[in-house]
Amino acid sequence: MSAISPRGELRFMLVEGRVNATVFVQFLLRLLCGVERPIYLIVDGHPSHRARETLDFVKATEGQLRLFFLPPYSPELNADELVWNHLKSHGVGRRFIQTRDELKSLVIAHLCSLQRTPARVRAFFRERNVRYAARSC
């Protein structure tokens, strides 16, 4: 899972297995680490995003974290989907991958490369359907 900002920041966490509320809260904790300003996170309708555990955690941050939910069935509005599309088309899509460890290594390398190129991450927010997310920054 990942989160990006219009400033070009990318944070990610690889998860083996299913993503549930506990895993999502771990990701949120990592996002909050070292951050001084509130985080406004746009999320889709995944059950982990709407789970009681998640909502209780967000409430406990006392405004340091706010979730904004996209309408159902609208991945084109999710800027973070562009990260995963980029990974598929430029990172691992046409490679011959033999092992799970090789896949994991390639995914991490590609995401780290994106982290080091904030201009590329900022470019995701110039896409027509996700420009709305960069307007307030």
| Domains defined for the chain, CATH in brackets | 2-134 (3.30.420.10)
Nearest partner of 22 among 42, 51, 61, 65, judged by Cα = 51
pLDDT tier at 94, thresholds 50, 70, 90: confident
What is the pLDDT averaged over residues 32-48?
A: 94
pLDDT digits (tens, 9 = 90+) for 74-89: 999 999 999 999 999 9
Distance CA 61, CA 69 (A): 18
Q: Which of residues 135 and 91 earns the better pLDDT score?
A: 91
pLDDT of residue 70: 96
Count of CB atoms within 10 A of residue 88's CB? 12
State the chain's mean pLDDT as an integer: 94
pLDDT score of 64 more than 70: yes
Whether the Cβ atoms of residue 66 and residue 40 lie closer than 8 Å to each other: yes
pLDDT tier at 95, thresholds 50, 70, 90: confident
Q: Which of residues 91 and 11 earns the better pLDDT score?
A: 11
DSSP-derived 3-state class of residue 2: strand
pLDDT score of 73 more than 80: yes
pLDDT tier at 37, thresholds 50, 70, 90: very high
Cβ neighbors of 135 (< 8 A, separation 6 or more) are none
pTM for the whole structure: 0.89
